[in-house]
A = this chain, B = another copy of it.
Amino acid sequence: MRVSIYRKGHFNAAHRLYNPDWTPEENTKVFGICSNTNFHGHNYELEVKVTGELDKNSGMVMDLKALKEIIEKDVELRFDHKNLNLDCPDFERLIPTTENICVVIYNVLRNIIDQKFDIVVRLYETPRNFAEYPAS
């Protein structure tokens, strides 16, 4: 009996969309004001989905408190109140778009959470813009 559980987290960060291989004009054309030199920022909302077998003894798929602590320690602490472009090695060579941040968080969690579970990461950049990986 496979059940999914979800846990939300959040972090506040600055970022800028900028491809160093492109001219400033190309960056502005593709990224618009998201490319502004001095950064802007967001309250990122994170939703982690973990799917697995329901354990008969505990009635749980995975301990939601443990999932909460993983999110706090391995995602929120890593990104909260940071400049994603300047402070986070994950984005040294990767543009911190919503999609890329989502994939990075997936990879972080995939290395920590037991392989017997499937995981999906959804990341809200704003209440109206968000991404999900892997795609269903």
Contacts and interface: CB of A to CB of B under 8 A. Distances in A.
Contact of A33 (B33, B61, B81, B129): B81
B6 A81 contact: no
Interface of A: 1-10, 12-15, 17, 19, 21, 30-34, 36, 38-43, 49, 51, 54, 57-61, 63-65, 80-83, 86-87, 94-100, 102-103, 126-136
Copies of this protein in the assembly total 6
Contacts of A2: 134-135
A59 B17 contact: yes
B98 A19 contact: no
B43 A42 contact: yes
A31 B49 CA distance: 20
